[in-house]
Amino acid sequence: MERKLPSEKFKDLKDSRLFCTPSVFEEVKKSYNSNLEASVSVAKFGKPQDSTGVFGEMSELARIAYKNSDGFSHFGYGGTSGANMAIFNLIGNMFTKYDSKPHVLAARNVHQSVVEGAMNSKVPVRYVDTNFDSSSGLFLPPTVDDVLKEMNSDTKVVLITRPNYEGGCFDLERLIKELKVRDNRSFVYVDEAWGAHLAFNPNLPTSAIELGADIATQSMHKQGGGINPSNITHFGKRMKDHRNEFYNSFNVTHTTSPSYPLLASMDVTRQVMQEHGKERIETLIEYASRFRQYLSSIDGVEVMTFEKYPSIVDSDLTKVNIDVRKTGMTGGEISNLLQERYKIIPEKDEIGSLTFIMNFALNPGDIEYTADKIRGIIQEGRRDDSASSSRKNYAPLPRRVERAYESFEVQTMKKEDTPFDIKSLVGKVSGENIKCYPPGIYVVQMGEVFDKITVEYLIEQRSRDGSLHMCDHNNKYVKTVDMKK
């Protein structure tokens, strides 16, 4: 037998300061009990896929706790990615009942699970104009007017990501009001992966289901106090007619061997959130406020706020974003040093910024300690001439991208390898989805036509080590398909 297992390296995480997911309540960690390992063969517990038996009791308690007043809620075990896959399977089935050509209208800053879910279920997705701020590098939500402008009688579902990765919130309340005034029957679906805590503290933006959304998918392990990859999906009143259809969709998109210890931990997560969520979140908000104060006193660091963006009307106060472009260091360089030297793990780094989430496992002293280490790294980096500077703006992205085919049409088409440069790519149709991570958004989707601005953005992203995710791991060729004749 090997003396040392590769996975033993994970033990190094002990004593780390996590400003990233998962943000797990101590009670939930302790509740994880491997003796609960079981399977759907144990008939008396009911089935997690369709919320029967014990799972039905758990879901009903969650519905009440998460303030889903007149719908139903459902625990899942594939993160929000799994929940989105199930929802797109459901939407695909619902769309077969329309005579016309229904589509989902989505904000462009959707997670990969939305794009892949739509593709697998052959659901056409139309996008609202991209709202990318090239001075901060942030993918912003669209304005309500941008969304309304794009809707037509075939728009059967409107999909919004809220909060976005950095915590900024779209004006969902106004969208839902406007749709009601127009007597519009489109379903409102919110990817609320980052919002499993919203229902539990009045100082946070109101949760989607409380605002009247029809569907909201949440990762419990992000800001919700739960273990990876727990999730919960909330359905409003209008979705009650589709309840059994959803259970079928959930069933075919998820493992048939769910983890019972994980399911039990979600029950505990719900309980801790319901009983203590308000004060625990208050503590995180206080940490974040203190962190912002310390960070803003560091030379070159700018604490990011959202006031200047009309499409952001509220924000998650448990997240802290900083712009580091004036420090002479990149977000990645600072993050690497924090991790290597001090076991401090930020949630996300980009060329010119860093995002920290206040994790339920943090201690009061971690805030000053971390701010201090960031100050030290930046002071040292400033003295070092080799530190790469990134004071400039990001390359921009186009507001609108031409689409030659639906993504699902491209899946089975013959693909060619085209050299990754402006001359060869501009005007070609993409045969693959290309993602920059972070922030994890597909900048190019299958079936879209490359334009010069997009290719320039991708070339800039290629210069960041390992940030561009595409079929060719060497980033030399891009899969393309023939343009429609």
Contact footprint for ligand PLP (CB under 6 A)? 79-81, 111, 113, 161, 165, 191, 193, 219, 229, 440
**Nearest distance from residue 222's CB to ligand PLP, in Å?**
6
Question: What stretch of H or E contains 140?
Answer: strand 138-140
Residues 172-179: contacts with CB under 8 Å, at least 24 apart:
172/208, 172/211, 172/213, 173/206, 173/211, 174/144, 174/313, 175/144, 175/147, 175/148, 176/211, 176/212, 176/213, 178/144, 178/148
As measured in angstroms, the least distance from the Cβ of 120 to ligand PLP is 15
Shortest Cβ 435–ligand PLP spacing (Å): 12
* Angle, helix 331-342 to helix 365-383, in steps of 10 degrees: 120
The closest alpha carbon to 300, from 383, 382, 395, 392, belongs to 382
Residues 136, 165 contacting (CB under 8 angstroms): no
Nearer to ligand PLP, 226 or 447 (CB): 226
For residues 79 and 167, which CB has a smaller minimum distance to ligand PLP in the complex?
A: 79
Task: Count Cβ atoms below 10 Å from residue 222 Cβ, excluding itself.
Answer: 25
Angle at alpha carbon of residue 147, lines to 146 and 153, rounded to 5°: 130
Nearer to ligand PLP, 331 or 381 (CB): 331
Shortest distance (Å) from residue 485 CB to ligand PLP? 37
Q: Which residues contact 485 (CB under 8 A, 6 or more apart)?
A: none
What is each CA distance from 207 to 129, 194, 271, 339, in whole angstroms? 24, 11, 18, 33
Q: To which H or E segment does residue 138 belong?
A: strand 138-140
- Taking CB atoms, the residue at the shortest distance from ligand PLP is 79
Give the β-pairing of 353-357 and 348-349: antiparallel
* Residue with Cβ nearer ligand PLP (80 or 454): 80
Which lies closer to ligand PLP via its Cβ, residue 346 or residue 381? 346
476 neighbors 174 (Cβ within 8 angstroms): no
Smallest gap from residue 161 Cβ to ligand PLP (A): 5
Which is nearer to ligand PLP, 225 or 328 (by Cβ)? Answer: 225
Q: How far is the CB of 210 from ligand PLP (least distance, A)?
A: 19
Closer residue to ligand PLP (CB): 139 or 408:
139
From residue 454, alpha-carbon distances to 58, 272, 314, 323 in Å are 46, 45, 29, 23
Please give the Cα distance from 239 to 226 (Å, whole number). Answer: 26
Give 166 or 451: the residue with its C-beta nearer to ligand PLP: 166
Cis peptide upstream of residue 163 (ω within 30 degrees of 0): yes
* Cis before 438? omega within 30: yes
Planar angle of CA 423, 425, 428, nearest 5 degrees: 130
Pairing of strands 17-19, 344-346: parallel
CB-neighbour burial class of residue 255 (10 A; exposed 0-12, middle 13-18, buried 19+):
exposed
Query: Given the complex with ligand PLP, which of 164 and 327 has the nearer CB atom?
Result: 164
CA–CA gap between residue 216 and residue 201 (Å, rounded): 18
Nearest to ligand PLP of 51, 161 (CB atom): 161
Quick check: 47 and 53 in contact, CB under 8 A? yes
Q: Which 3 state secondary structure label does DSSP give 43?
A: helix
355 half-sphere exposure, CB direction, 13 A CA radius:
23
Which CB sits closer to ligand PLP, 250 or 450?
Answer: 250
CB of 51 to ligand PLP, least distance (A): 20
Displacement of CA 453 from its chain's centroid (Å): 25
Whole-angstrom CA distances from 471 to 110, 330, 430, 454, 479 are 20, 26, 11, 17, 7
